[in-house]
């Protein structure tokens, strides 16, 4: 089965009135840089499905968060800064990559980024005059890595009794069950529990005694040799 395609939402903070000024010049300037960024990320990450949004008021912010609540994280491109648009996205708790145009889009970015980092929010920010630079768009690779991890599975091989306890969330093993769910909630990986007997049956081939001895004998011979040398040295 083919893996799910990686999908990353991109929110442009691009109101026509803000630190940049107003239309018609602001509209033309924003559209040029918006198109340039879209072309740059599509060219750099051709296998990723980017979904682009325009954030021009607080209603747009809430609609964006509602529609993309299941996304692995967000890319925010701040082109024309107005206070209050980036902060709700950061405080969603999702990993966020912010690329802020240093002249017109860095107002809220400069004031809010360090505070968000200090408070433990998973956010990375870049302020630059060239939002299409390799350095700026390279940060998106972190969201791509998280998306790949989210599509992964981790196999835990446990004893038959422990698997039974985990399945039924029995007594002392509820803590371990909680740990597995915590791993899933943080990384997105899907934990798979398999007991040792099932693991052996599915992934190891049965061999007869003669085949087993043929494989084991060379190793046993070397072990005897090392033991003999050690005894002589002592």
pLDDT at 110 over 60: yes
- Here the tokens at position 46 are 């051709």
DSSP secondary structure letter of residue 24: T
Average per-residue pLDDT in the chain? 83
Alpha carbon distance 114, 108 (integer Å): 11
Sequence-distant (≥ 6) Cβ neighbours of residue 5 within 8 angstroms: 47, 48, 49
Q: Which of 18-22, 71-75, 167-171 has the highest mean pLDDT?
A: 71-75
pLDDT at 22 over 70: yes
Q: pLDDT tens-digit profile of 36-94? A: 999 999 999 999 999 999 999 999 999 999 999 989 999 999 999 888 899 999 999 99
pLDDT at 197 over 80: yes
pLDDT at 106 over 90: no
Between residues 213 and 84, the one the model is more confident about: 84
- Nearest 10 degrees: CA dihedral of 24, 25, 26, 28? 90
pLDDT at res. 183: 72
Alpha carbon distance 48, 145 (integer Å): 12
- Here the tokens at position 120 are 């433990």
3-class secondary structure for 143-174? HHHHHHHHCCEEEEEECHHHHHHHHCCCHHHH
Please report, rounded to a whole number, the percentage of residues in the chain having pLDDT higher than 70. Answer: 80
Q: At what angle do helices 174-187 and 160-167 cross, to 10 degrees?
A: 70
Task: Average the pLDDT over 149-162 and give the result.
Answer: 80
Domains in the chain with CATH codes:
7-149 (3.40.50.360), 152-233 (no CATH)
DSSP track, 37-88 = HHHHHHHH-TTSEEEEEEE-SHHHHHHHHHHTTTSS-EEEEESS--TTSSHH
Alpha carbon distance 11, 17 (integer Å): 17
Tell whether the torsion through CA atoms of 167, 172, 175 and 176 is positive or negative.
Answer: negative
């Amino acid at each position: 089965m083919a893996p799910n395609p990686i999908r990353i939402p991109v929110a442009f903070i691009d109101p026509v009135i803000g630190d940049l000024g107003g239309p018609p010049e602001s509209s033309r300037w924003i559209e040029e840089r918006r198109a340039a960024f879209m072309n740059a990320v599509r060219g750099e990450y051709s296998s990723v499905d980017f979904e682009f949004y325009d954030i021009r008021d607080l209603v747009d912010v809430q609609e964006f968060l509602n529609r993309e609540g299941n996304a692995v994280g967000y890319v925010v491109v701040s082109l024309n800064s107005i206070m209050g648009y980036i902060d709700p996205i950061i405080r969603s708790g999702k990993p966020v990559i912010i690329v802020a145009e240093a002249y017109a889009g860095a107002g809220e970015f400069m004031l809010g980024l360090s505070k968000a980092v200090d408070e433990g929010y998973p956010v990375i920010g870049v302020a630059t005059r060239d939002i299409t630079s390799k350095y700026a768009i390279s940060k998106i690779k972190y969201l791509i890595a998280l998306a790949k991890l989210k599509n992964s599975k981790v196999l835990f091989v446990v004893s038959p009794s422990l698997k039974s306890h985990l399945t039924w969330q029995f007594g002392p093993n509820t803590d371990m069950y909680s740990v597995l769910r915590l791993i899933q909630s943080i990384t997105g990986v899907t934990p798979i529990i398999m007991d040792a007997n099932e693991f052996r049956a599915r992934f190891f081939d049965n061999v007869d005694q003669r085949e087993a001895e043929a494989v084991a004998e060379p190793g046993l011979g070397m072990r005897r040799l090392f033991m003999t040398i050690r005894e002589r040295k002592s």
